[in-house]
Each structure stands twice: as structure tokens, then as C-alpha cells.
Amino acid sequence: MSDDLLGRHRSVLPDWLALYYEEPIEITHGEGRHVWDSDGNRYLDFFGGILTTMTAHALPEVTKAVSEQAGRIVHSSTLYLNRQMVELAERVAQLSGIPNARVFFTTSGTEANDTALLLATAHRRSNTVLAMRNSYHGRSFSSVGVTGNRGWSPTSLSPLQTHYVHGGVRTRGPFAALDDYDFVAACVDDLKDVLGHTRPPAALIAEPIQGVGGFTSPPDGLYAAFREVLHERGVLWISDEVQTGWGRTGEHFWGWQAHGRSGPPDMLTFAKGIGNGMSIGGVVARAEIMNCLDANSISTFGGTQITMAAGLANLTYLLEHDLQGNARRVGGLLIERLRAAAAQVPAVREVRGRGLMIGIELTRPGTDEADPAAASAVLEAARAGGLLIGKGGGHDTSALRIAPPLSLNVAEAEEGAAILERALRSTL
């Protein structure tokens, strides 16, 4: 970088603002499933701006909608009627599965979860919250207070009293050796035990698949079993769909639907992919919950005309092109290809996930000890080979995170898997 952008970054931005790679890159433009850096290098993008470029880079339908809306009006706030916001809310409410749903738009997943916690605690008149171990829900004061991942929790101070329960990670912890049926039963018993020792909680907040935690998940049906226990006590269920929503898992449109035998959650939160890069987040809740606040509120930047135009165009494209089905088909091929490659690499503890949301956990060979240095090395090698991926995990960031745009085709999946296989073999 001729103008020393990295040095300028370090001189004016926080030290804790993480950058990937020993030599960080500046991404200047993208198209489809590819991006280019300021040195002209081309990469296959398997991380999509942290699962945010959900359909494709520079998707014509979205860029056209944004351009046309920018030529009319960009923003007016929620103090005025907003046709685009109403239209997107109608579609999201219908897709959510929540009866008599109301939708509130925010600018991010953090703000969406923050709002859901406000609604739950106000509705239930309790500041006690249940959350999952290894979870991540954002970087605001309240969302950090329900994040069960030490690496992303910079303070123990919180306006909430949070109790963490088992179940978000299937292959670690005290119940890992149990079969799925007994695992769920043990986690339900743990939940009941926690409930017996706490003030009545407002809600359980849970990611159906833990994103920052390394794409870990419980057996299907765990949150349905939790819901039955919670419902008896009036405790709300908030499904954090910031990373799992909009069909990314392939099998379901929402992550909660893998646990849906007891019906939809009381609230769900969303963000990231719906804007395809534009800042959209939100909460869907039953009307009685959404309307429980007894003070005025607005959202200055939540639901602006330009972001809503992008969301409408992006959602239309996703549905009309069956990107959920594509995630199921291409994601299934990709995960099997990666499992075959990983079988020859002793440092790979597990390849997990569904659809186009895949995690590869790395450990020191012959142990369950996390190996974050190995994850960083594979990240570097993949980049050198022309592939961008992410990393995460609740055990010292030792999981690789793979989440391409949902329009990924078979040839690109094969190309990315081959690059990643070479990166694994060359570094581990």
C-alpha cells in the first residue's frame, strides 16, 4: 500500500479493532463470489464480509435499487411514513412464522439483540436472562452481557443478570459423550436446575448455530425441548438469527425451524445478509411483546429508505432464485468435499455445519487442545492461494469459518475446497 494505509489505520483506530492477516489487505471491489484487493489480487470470497454479502458482490438488482433510491431520497427517519420500510416489514413478518408479528428495524445485529433484550426485560419485568455457553450476541453493553464467549466479552459488568446453560456445543463439555437423545435430556435437566436457583428470567437468547463460536450447534430439537420448559414458566425465547437466517443453512429458512416442534420463538433477531452489505438489522416479535414499551422511541437510522430498498431487492432475488435450495445443494457438496480432505489431516478435529455455514475445528494432533496458531496459519495459506475465509471458536479461535454468498456454484465450491485442502496440507 503506497500510502501506508495500515500505519494510518493504527494511528487513528482502536488497538482492539482486529485485522486479518500478517499483512492486512484492502478490498477495493467485488463481483459475484469474488473480490479484489488494492494490489490487484483476486480472491474467491468464502466469508462474505462476515456472512453479510449474502447473495453476491455487486448484485445488479441490489445496486440498481440502491442507486435509484439514492436519486430520490436517502433518509427521513421513522418520524415519517416510509413505504419501503412498511413493505419490507410486511414480507419479514410473513416469513418469520411468528403470529401477529411486528417488526422493528435497526442498523445492526448488535442493536437488534439489544432491542430484543429491552423488550423481553420490560415485558417480563425481570433483568435475569438465560444464554448459551460459547455464544456471541454483539458488542453493545447489554449484548456483551449475554455473550458466553470469553474472547468477545471485554467486561463482566452488565445491566443484566445472566445465567449460562449447556447445549450450544455438541462435541465438547460434560455431556459430549452422550448420544443425541441423552444429550438433549441432560441439557434440559441442566436448564431446569438453573431455573430452580434463579429469579424468574425474562428470556433465553440463543443462536440456532453459534456463529462467532465456530459454527457449533446442538442436536436438532434441543431448543424445542427448552421451549417447553420455558413456556410453562412464561419465559420468552429469543432466536438470534443474525447469522443463520434467510436460508443459509439450506434445510430451513430460519435456524429455529430445526427446533420448531413447539412452534416459532417469541422473538427473532436478524441482520447481516438481508441488506447484502447495507446496514439492516431488526427484531420480529409478537405484538403484545413489541408494544409493551410505555415510553416514546424512534430509530434515526433504522429502516432508512435506501437500506430498505436494498433489503427488498435482495430478499426478492433470494426467493426468486431459490438461494436456500442452492445453499442446501452446493453446501452439501462442499461439506462432503471438505470432510474428505480433512480426513487426511490429523489436526482437523471436526468438520461441521449445514448449508453454506461450515466450520472446521483445528486442534493439536492427538488431543482436544485448541490450536489457534494453526487456524491463523491456514487462514494465511488460503489467502495466498486466492481464498478468503474466517475464523472463530470458543476455544481460543481455533475454528475456520466458511460462509460464501448463497449464489455459490458447484465449480466455485470445488475451487475453494481445493485451495483449502492445499492450505490444510501445507500448514498442518
Residue the block writes with cell 410473513: 94
69-99 as b/e: b if 16+ CB within 10 A: beeeeeeeebeeebebbeebbebbbebbbbe
Q: Which of the four pLDDT bands, split at 50, 70 and 90, describes residue 353?
A: very high
Q: Quick one: 127 and 241 in the same domain?
A: yes
Q: Which of 269, 300, 320 is the last residue of a domain?
A: 320
Q: Quick one: 269 and 402 in the same domain?
A: no
Q: Quick one: 341 and 361 in the same domain?
A: yes
Residue 102: beta bridge partners?
285
Domain count, the chain: 2
pLDDT digits (tens, 9 = 90+) for 67-104: 999 999 999 999 999 999 999 999 999 999 999 999 99
Q: Which of 292, 320, 348 is the last residue of a domain?
A: 320
Q: Quick one: 40 and 112 in the same domain?
A: no
**pLDDT higher than threshold 70 for residue 246:** yes
Question: Given this model, what pLDDT does residue 156 score?
Answer: 87
pTM of the model: 0.96
Question: Given this model, what pLDDT does residue 260 score?
Answer: 80
Q: Quick one: 35 and 151 in the same domain?
A: no
Q: Quick one: 348 and 387 in the same domain?
A: yes
Angstrom distance (rounded) from CA 122 to CA 115? 11
Q: Which of the four pLDDT bands, split at 50, 70 and 90, describes residue 397?
A: confident
Q: Sort 343 into a burial class: Cβ within 10 Å, 0-12 / 13-18 / 19+.
A: exposed
Q: Quick one: 295 and 337 in the same domain?
A: no
Question: Given this model, what pLDDT does residue 2 score?
Answer: 55
Q: Quick one: 308 and 332 in the same domain?
A: no
Q: Quote the mean pLDDT of the chain.
A: 96
pLDDT digits (tens, 9 = 90+) for 260-281: 887 999 999 999 999 999 999 9
**What average pLDDT does this structure show over 56-73?**
98
Question: Given this model, what pLDDT does residue 262 score?
Answer: 77
The total of other beta-carbon atoms located within 10 Å of residue 392's CB is: 24
**pLDDT higher than threshold 90 for residue 425:** yes
Q: Quick one: 85 and 44 in the same domain?
A: no
For strands 387-388 and 42-45, give the pairing.
parallel
- Looking up residue 17, the CATH number of its domain turns out to be 3.90.1150.10
Angstrom distance (rounded) from CA 389 to CA 399? 11
- Looking up residue 150, the CATH number of its domain turns out to be 3.40.640.10
Angstrom distance (rounded) from CA 188 to CA 220? 14
The total of other beta-carbon atoms located within 10 Å of residue 20's CB is: 16
**What average pLDDT does this structure show over 313-332?**
98
Q: Quick one: 91 and 192 in the same domain?
A: yes
Angstrom distance (rounded) from CA 35 to CA 153? 31
The percent of residues above 70 in pLDDT, for the chain, comes to 99
pLDDT digits (tens, 9 = 90+) for 126-158: 999 999 999 999 999 999 999 999 888 898 889
Q: Which of 272, 290, 320 is the last residue of a domain?
A: 320
Q: Quick one: 140 and 225 in the same domain?
A: yes
Residue 238: beta bridge partners?
205, 267
Grid coordinates given for 131: 444464554
What residues contact 329, with CB distance under 8 A and at least 6 apart? 250
Task: Look at residues 142, 90, 93 and name the one whose alpha carbon lies nearest to residue 116.
Answer: 142
Q: Quick one: 46 and 141 in the same domain?
A: no
Q: Identify the domain containing residue 123 by its residue range.
A: 64-320
Is residue 77 within 8 Å of 303, Cβ to Cβ?
A: no
